[in-house]
Amino acid sequence: MTGSEIPKEYNAAEIEIKWMNEWDLSMYHFDWADKTRPQYIIDTPPPYPTGNFHIGNSLNWCYIDFVARYKRMRGFNVMFPQGWDCHGLPTEVKVEETHHITKNQVPRAEFRKMCEEMTEGNIIKMRNTMKRLGFSNDWSNEFITMEPSYYVKTQRSFLKMHEKNYVYHEEHPVNWCPRCETAIALAEVEYRENVTKLNFLYFSLAEDENEKVHIATSRPELLCACAAVAVNPDDARYGKFVGKELVVPIFGQKVPVIPDVDVDAEFGTGAVMICTFGDKQDIRWTKTHNLKITKAIDRNGKMTAAAGKYEGMSIPECKANIIEDLRCNGFLYEQQDLDQNVGLCWRCKTPIEILSEMQWFVKVNPEEILSGADQIEWIPEYMKVRLENWTSTMEWDWCISRQRIFATPIPVWYCNKCNEVLIADDSWLPIDPTQEKPPVACPKCGANDFHGETDVFDTWMDSSLTALHVSGWDSDHELRLPTQLRPQGHDIIRTWAFYTILRAKAIENKIPWDTIMINGMVLGPDGHKMSKSLGNIISPEDVLIEHSADAFRQWGALGGSVGSDVMFRWNDVVSASRLIQKLWNIYRFSLSNMDGFGTKDAASFDVSKLKQIDYWLLSKLNGLIDDVTGAMEVYKFDDAFKAIRVFAWDVLADNYIELVKGRLYGADADGKAAARFTLFTAVSTLTKILAPFTPFLAEEMYSRIGEGSVHQQGWPAKIDGLPADAEEKGELIKGITSAIRCYKSDNKMALNAPLKKIEIYNAVVDAADISNTVTSPTDLIEGAPEFESVPVEVKPNMGMLGPMFRDKAGAVIGALKALPPKEAEEMKAAGKVVVTAGGEQIELGADSIEIKKEMVSAGREIEILHVDEAVIVIVK
């Protein structure tokens, strides 16, 4: 191979697209039949198919890909599956926008179809980005949660959990948008500052209507749903009322006065009416005090029959009427302005209500989840605390029903005759109860008249099943749980990680993964979270257009340690691109000097024929293999890649190649062969060790030096038979060369300007490589030079003196530093250092100090440099 065949410029765009099209991706497939290699299954978290594989996903996928490629090279049977978590509100909203409809205007099945079509298009776009970024996904194990083949498992898992008594059906408060007629998640509630009226009312005591309690409320329209009045137990004003009953104005129901420490005695009158449900605090009180639930508002935001004569009114209408009636009847005695934070639907800005609805729940067993979390390795470790805190403060069980359409149907029917709940039989799955009737009669009353459950599963029910799915649960394959790795962001520990552990424990009583690797968030170049409003969003495509996938991936590796938030910096990508070009130049130089030397020649090469600096380079290379391997084992991709960068640029390019050029260009056949072997070994090792990080560059490099794909090669092995002093000698050669270069720079000389002569004393090293590199005749002279050596500084040994003298150490160190250097040297030579500190004479051993010495040139036209024990004389 000659240099002329290798282009000077590394054309990343061209080369990356070439390999993307040429690669046979089946080389990344997991082999279910293989019993020899250990399995390494990754529970890839399926992204939501927005159509846009964003930079946060990309960082996460970089981490996964580094691990997947590394593990393959280490001989594991790796599965890096790709899934798509399709169901959810954002797609429903997008479909409504695109088709200018609301979901209730079209049949459910039709709306679902629209959502599916949009999702399919989005998945195609995202797949393309992923392939372009060089991720080594196993596409034979792709899963799409909206497909019956996947959601049948969600439904089956529901049946399994029901059998095991994890599932129940109960009335429960939900955030409800009366306009959209759906429950919405807490995350979908937006808050706005608002001013409302705080109304001061009289409630009279049931046993004595002349005795009044003053109540302040902002929600008088909920009077009909008032279930109790709460006061602070320490509030002296109300102590006498506790345990007695009050009569609610207008509606006349009797409600108890109850004590509760959560009541703020300072707010309003200090007496609070608890209703179904004015706010979240009402939910807590209703639950803790087991209060009666009265539904005053229906799903359309209208007052129910419970509101008596106000039935059918909208909430604001009812509020105005009730206030008027309270005033007329003398119940209202004052109104004040009140600042409040009102919860709005994020889509239509309608104030949300808290309604009580029948919902399906999954029991949360904190002990089970915590013990599961303990058996999992957390990377980084401190992330486990987040799960523990969340788990131990869970107030409620997991509500798995949602009032949506594009989601996995809950396979349940209700008998119209007797209200019996009929849960689907396993053999009927997959099934949509809104589209199909059950094939049996009601087991309780024998009727054949059902209505299907219109609520659907929370999307987490699909996505918390991935660990089971990818490890072969409910398939023809044997179950391979636990999987080895779950990579995911720290923002979803409380949801995704939590639910997945819960499900694996509930269904198979196993942990889902051996290890969970948590990635941080990607911040914009300004250090803030990327957002449309800040305008700091950068997409992977932006980076691909200007640079390359390999450069982007380096940013992923170097941006920060796993778990920490990573800023996107163009700088990192620019410097990554430069490294790629630098690596290419190293590669180009090396191959152009090989003259046919290749893998076979390297295999039969006699290592004992190498020169000192060759040994040094190979020893450094061994160190690199150790460092990168060690870092990869603990998911420190930044450390791993930094080590590669330092080796390639600093060690190999700036030092070894410069030192070895003389031999490569020279006539000495042995020296040349040694250099070729060393260079070839370094380049081929670099190619393999780069493969997990920069798969395109590595493949391009490997294509000229090896057979097949670099991504099917084994991880590089260390070179045996290096002398023990390899690094020491090499460092000295490097140090001497560097000192001479530094001398030239200080004296404003060109780097290649020849010096008359260089003499190296007191260093047994190869002078030939040095001589070539500094372009000057160089003599190696045994022993010390005949110049006067002058001690110039005393350096006390802190590590030894500190513990020895403790509080007196400061004085001793000071006294040692103050010694005349010449005197100190004599004492050290005699093996005994005596010093006076704090009026006391102290005797120390020779190792208590180091003496720094310099040579003086004694009038000759020379310059003297010091590198460790070696002395370099430059003759001008």
Partner RNA sequence: GGGCUCGUGGUCUAGAUGGUCAUGACACCGCCUUUACACGGCGGAGGUCCUGAGUUCGAAUCUCAGCGGGCCCA
Using CB under 7 A, which of 367, 746, 786, 861 touches RNA?
746
From 25-33, 226-234, 566-574, 819-827, give the range in contact with RNA by CB under 7 A: 566-574
- Nearer residue to RNA within complex by CB, 480 or 741: 741
d(CA 43, CA 117): 26
Nearer to RNA, 419 or 745 (CB): 745
* Region from 170-178, 244-252, 646-654, 705-713 binding RNA, contact rule CB under 7 A: 646-654
Minimum Å gap between C-beta 796 and RNA is: 6
- Please pick, from the candidates 204, 335, 561, 857, the single residue that binds RNA as defined by CB under 7 A: 561
Interface residue with RNA, options 308, 448, 665, 826 (CB under 7 A): 665
Q: Does 581 bind RNA (CB under 7 A)?
A: yes
Q: Does 532 participate in binding RNA (rule CB under 7 A)? A: no
Query: Tokens representing 508?
Result: 């198979």
DSSP, collapsed to helix, strand or coil, labels residue 5 as helix
The correct pick among 21, 33, 165, 186 for binding RNA (CB under 7 A) is 186
Stretch that binds RNA, among 64-72, 209-217, 579-587, 762-770 (CB under 7 A): 579-587
Determine, following the binding rule CB under 7 A, whether residue 745 of this chain makes contact with RNA. Answer: yes
The span of 218-226, 350-358, 377-385, 432-440 binding RNA (CB under 7 A) equals 377-385
**Which one of 69-77, 325-333, 595-603, 802-810 is the stretch in contact with RNA (CB under 7 A)?**
802-810
The verdict on 703 binding RNA (CB under 7 A) reads no
Instruction: Please report, for residues 356, 805, 814, 829, the alpha-carbon distance to residue 794 in angstroms, rounded to integers and kept in the order given.
Output: 81, 18, 10, 13
Q: Is residue 521 near RNA by the rule CB under 7 A?
A: yes
Alpha-carbon distance values, 139 to 147, 158, 308 (Å): 16, 27, 61
Choosing from 50, 335, 575, 629, the residue that interacts with RNA (CB under 7 A) is: 575
d(CA 635, CA 369): 25
CA–CA distance, 427 with 440 (Å, rounded to integer): 12
Which window, 244-252, 271-279, 324-332, 558-566, contacts RNA (CB under 7 A)?
Answer: 558-566
Residue with tokens 């899934």: 83
Q: Is 532 known as a binding-site position?
A: yes
CA 716, CA 690: separation in Å to the nearest integer? 11
Q: Is 192 in the site for RNA (CB under 7 A)?
A: no
600 touching RNA, by CB under 7 A = no
Q: Is 99 exposed, middle or buried (0-12, 13-18, 19+ CB in 10 A)?
A: middle
Q: Two tokens at 630?
A: 């060690």
* DSSP one-letter string for 630-688: HHHHTT-HHHHHHHHHIIIIIIIIIIIIHHHHHHHHSS-HHHHHHHHHHHHHHHHHHHH
* Contact pick of 582, 704, 718, 757 for RNA (by CB under 7 A): 582
C-beta separation of 84 from 100 below 8 A = no
Sequence length of the chain is 876
Sign of the dihedral defined by the CA atoms of residues 321, 327, 329, 332, in that order: positive
Give the list of residues 6+ apart from residue 776 with CB closer than 8 angstroms, or none.
Answer: 740, 754, 755, 756, 757, 758
Sign of CA dihedral 566, 568, 574, 577: positive
Question: Closest by alpha carbon to 706, among 721, 676, 686?
Answer: 686
Indicate which single residue of 240, 287, 309, 578 sits in contact with RNA (rule: CB under 7 A): 578
Residue 681 CA to residue 717 CA, distance in Å, equals 11
User: Which residue in this structure is represented by tokens 């396979």?
Assistant: 411
Element (H, E) at 771: helix 767-774
Binding residues among 804-863 for RNA as defined by CB under 7 A: 806-810, 850
Closer to RNA at the Cβ: 56 or 249?
56
Question: Least distance in Å: CB of 643 to RNA?
Answer: 11
**From 200, 251, 428, 649, residue interacting with RNA (rule: CB under 7 A):** 649
For RNA, which residue of 567, 679, 691, 864 counts as binding (CB under 7 A)?
A: 567
* 29, 347, 494, 757: residue in contact with RNA (rule CB under 7 A): 494
Q: What is the CA radius of gyration of the chain?
A: 38
Dist. CA 238–CA 477, nearest whole Å: 68
- Burial of 7-42, coded b for 16+ CB within 10 Å and e otherwise, reads eeebebeebbeebbeebeeeebbbebeeeeeebbbb
Whole-number minimum distance, CB 340 to RNA, in Å? 14
Q: Binding RNA by CB under 7 A: which of 797, 853, 857, 863?
A: 797
**Can you tell me the distance from the alpha carbon of 400 to that of 457, in angstroms, rounded to the nearest whole number?**
5
Binding mask 286-315 for RNA (x = CB under 7 A): ------------------------------
Which of 116, 368, 565, 601 touches RNA (CB under 7 A)?
Answer: 565
Q: HSE, CB side, 13 Å, CA atoms: give it for residue 328.
A: 7
In 3D space, the residue among 189, 220, 72, 205 whose CA is nearest the CA of residue 137 turns out to be: 72
Considering only residues 20, 313, 338, 653, which one is a binding residue for RNA as defined by CB under 7 A? 653
8 Å CB contact between 275 and 283: no
Residue 193 binding RNA, by CB under 7 A: no
Element spanning 92, H or E: helix 89-99
- For residue 149, the tally of other CB atoms under 10 A from its CB is 12
Binding mask 52-91 for RNA (x = CB under 7 A): ----------------------------------------
Shorter beta-carbon distance to RNA: residue 3 or 820: 3
Choice between 345 and 383, CB closer to RNA: 383
Scan residues 461-490 and list those touching RNA (CB under 7 A). 490
CB of 636 to RNA, least distance (A): 8
Which is nearer to RNA, 320 or 521 (by Cβ)?
521
Single out the residue of 586, 628, 683, 736 in contact with RNA (rule: CB under 7 A).
Answer: 586
280 binds RNA (CB under 7 A): yes
Count residues binding RNA (CB under 7 A). Answer: 68
Stretch that binds RNA, among 354-362, 464-472, 648-656, 824-832 (CB under 7 A): 648-656
How far apart are CB 394 and RNA at their closest, in Å?
A: 10
Check residue 27 for interaction with RNA (CB under 7 A). Answer: no
Q: Indicate which single residue of 535, 596, 783, 803 sits in contact with RNA (rule: CB under 7 A).
A: 803
* Long-range pairs for 119-128: beta carbons < 8 A, 24 or more residues apart: 119/49, 119/84, 119/86, 119/91, 119/146, 121/51, 122/49, 122/50, 122/51, 122/52, 123/49, 123/84, 125/51, 125/52, 125/53, 126/47, 126/49, 126/50, 126/51, 126/52, 126/53, 126/84, 127/82
- Residue 707 and residue 599 in contact, taking contact as beta carbons nearer than 8 Å: no
Q: From the CB of 736, what's the least distance to RNA, in Å? A: 12
Q: How far is CA 140 from CA 81, 470, 476, in A?
A: 8, 11, 15
1 binds RNA (CB under 7 A): no
Which residues sit in the known binding site?
Answer: 532
Q: Which residues bind RNA (CB under 7 A)?
A: 3, 8-9, 186-187, 280, 382-383, 385-386, 389, 490-491, 494, 521, 523, 527-529, 560-561, 564-565, 567, 569, 571, 574-575, 577-578, 581-582, 585-586, 588-589, 592, 649, 653-654, 657-658, 661, 665, 738, 741-742, 744-746, 748, 750-752, 795-799, 801-803, 806-810, 850
Which residues sit in the known binding site for ATP?
Answer: 532
